[in-house]
Chain A
Amino acid sequence: MELFKPEFGLAFWMFIAFLCLFGILAKWAWPFIIKSMEERADLIDKGVAYAQEAKAHLDNAKAEADKLIAEARNEQADILREAAKMRNELIEKAHGEAADEAKKVTEAAQVSLEQARKEAEKTLRKEVGDLALQIAEKVIRKNIASDDAQRALVDQYLSEVETKN
């Protein structure tokens, strides 16, 4: 059976063809392809490692930023609280000062009022005295005829004084 008898010519050419193919590929193709493939695999591995590292860095950076922000927030709150306190203090101080001033002003006003009153009293007394003197003068001048007439006169003058005052 022909199929089971290896033909010499075919084996010969097969041998030649395979050796040529192998020689060409082994010299110019396979080592280069294998090297390139391994280099690329390494590159991809490195890339993945680098990306993971970068991601870790990024996560860290985020945490750090969060921490910084929280710190800044705290600081801000502190500053605000302090400011509020200071403001309150200022206001209180201002209030106190204002109250003192007002008190002083009031006191001064009272003193001057008192003085004015005393002066007024003095003047009044003087005037009342003058008036009384005038009235008495007039009463005496009229030659007192009757009690009634005199009384009416006194009344009249008194009311005059009153209206004058």
Chain B
Amino acid sequence: MKKAITALIAVVIIALMALGYADTAAHRAHSGGETEVDPQEIIFEHLGDAYGWEVPFNHSKRIPLPIIVRAQDGSWHAFMSNRLDEGAQYDGFQIAKGGDYNNKVVQILPDGSQYRPVDLSITKNVAGIFIAALLVLLMVFKVKNWYKKNGMKAPRRFTAALELVVDFVYTDTIRPIIGKEAPKYAPYLLTVFFFILTMNLLGLIVIFPGGANLTGNLAVTAVLALLTFLITNLTGTKHYWKEMFWPDVPTALKCPVPLMQVIELFGIFTKPIALMIRLFANMMGGHMVVIVFMLLIFIFGSMFGTAVGGAMTPLSVALSLFMLLLDVLVSFIQAYVFTILSTMFISMAHVHEHAE
């Protein structure tokens, strides 16, 4: 049975590869002759945001998503992204090619210049965030409903796996670090953990509803880090602020020149920034390496001929498969690291006099 499944998967993969090859060949024939592969453009196209969601085996079709923009005169415009496909102009808006606003919606002003409107479009990444949030909702309520329905009985299957993760994050991480105040901060930390984990894993699935590089995007991680920053500093105890502005160090270090204060203040900001960069860089790096391994086929193909490129295929596929599997691990680790560091920052802001 297992062998049959493995064989089936192999056949499907080979068929997909053949399809992809035929597709590429057709594309080349269509556009007339060899087209130069630009690795950088492909990488940033895959890692970046888009106004539509690409579908497998088709280079031009996109799942249309709503574009919501505020024009220069203050009026709001909303329309589907397929109206701007292939560089079309609609309602004075267009997706810019090149320039400062590459691949972004711009308004073409009467004088021909480009104006970047306030852009609240439901882009691919925004839709991905909504999908991830919905999935987290479903998963968490699955666990909750189990408890509601079955009370003290042990859950099974997927619910049990979820519960195990909740237990791991809450009982083994949040509670030991924060202590008796854990129930107050656990909802935020658990939400962060599951949201990041879901976004990370969704990013690894190449087709809809996955494929959006969410946690490998600075805006997303910045929001998460900002929230941790706000919670840490808004709930900080008096003692936390005292340590900040009048720490227990020799007076020479803090009085005439506020050396310690500057360092501490700097620390407040470096902590969330480190959180933001760590998650962003890890996830984006993972995605980038996978794509680069795949692109090795085309890079070698254009450098040494198609035969060499073809020969590279098994190695490339094996390497990117390995990286993808590694990314599954990294997804969990990075979600966990973000959560545990947030937990520690929050707990460090709750120092009490007697705790020393």
Contact = CB atoms under 8 A, between A and B. Distances in A.
The size class of the interface chain B forms with chain A is 35 or more
B218 A6 contact: yes
Contacts of A36: 147, 151
B166 A37 contact: yes
B220 interface: yes
Interface in B98-137: 102-103, 118-123, 125-126, 129-130, 133, 136-137
Nearest to B153: A40
B87 interface: no
B123 A33 contact: no
Contact of A22 (B141, B148, B188, B218): B188
B217 A10 contact: yes
B156 to A, nearest CB: 14
A110 B190 CA distance: 119
A50 interface: no
B284 A14 contact: no
Nearest to A40: B152
Interface stretch (A24-32, A56-64, A136-144): A24-32
Contact of A33 (B119, B140, B152, B195): B140
Contact of A11 (B103, B147, B222): B222
A61 to B, nearest CB: 29
B47 interface: yes
Contacts of A15: 223
Given A14-B129, A18-B227, A21-B136, A32 B144 contact: yes
A10 B49 contact: yes
B167 A37 contact: yes
Contacts of B121: 9
Contacts of A2: 44, 48-49, 102-103
Given A21-B133, A28-B144, A33-B166, A10 B219 contact: yes
A34 B183 contact: yes
Contacts of A3: 44, 47-48, 217-218, 284
Interface residues of A, number: 36
A39 interface: yes
A20 interface: yes
A67 B58 CA distance: 86
Given A2-B48, A3-B218, A10-B126, A21 B195 contact: yes
A12 B195 contact: no
Interface of B: 44, 47-49, 102-103, 118-123, 125-126, 129-130, 133, 136-137, 140-141, 143-144, 147-148, 151-152, 163, 166-167, 170-171, 183, 186-188, 190-191, 195, 217-220, 222-224, 227, 284
20 contacts: A2-B49, A3-B47, A7-B219, A8-B119, A9-B118, A10-B219, A13-B129, A13-B130, A14-B219, A17-B126, A18-B133, A21-B191, A25-B137, A25-B187, A29-B140, A29-B141, A30-B190, A36-B147, A37-B166, A37-B170
Given A10-B220, A20-B133, 20 more contacts: A2-B103, A6-B219, A8-B119, A8-B219, A10-B49, A10-B219, A13-B122, A14-B126, A14-B129, A18-B191, A25-B137, A26-B187, A29-B141, A31-B183, A31-B187, A32-B147, A32-B148, A33-B140, A34-B170, A36-B147
